[in-house]
Structure 1
Amino acid sequence: MDKLLETVKVGIADMNIVKTPNLIRTSGLGSCVGVVVFDLSFGIAGLAHVMLPDSSLAKGAAFNSAKYADTAIRELVSCMSKNGARSSCLKAKIAGGAQMFQFSSGSDLMRIGPRNVEAVKKELAILKIAILAEDVGGNSGRTIEFNPKTGKLNIRTVNKGEFVI
Structure 2
Amino acid sequence: AENSSDTDLRSEVNTFMLAGLDTMAGGISWLLYHLPLSPEHQERCREGIRGILGDGSSITWDQLGITVVHSIWGLHHSYAIWENLYKFFHGTPSFHLTVRNCIWQHFAMAELKVAIALILLRFKVIPDPTRPLVFLPQVILKPKSGVHLHLKKLP
TM-score (norm 2): 0.27
**Bigger Rg, which one:** 2
Q: Which has the larger share of helix?
A: 2
> What TM-score do you get using the length of structure 1 for normalisation?
0.26
Question: Which has more strand, going by share of residues?
Answer: 1
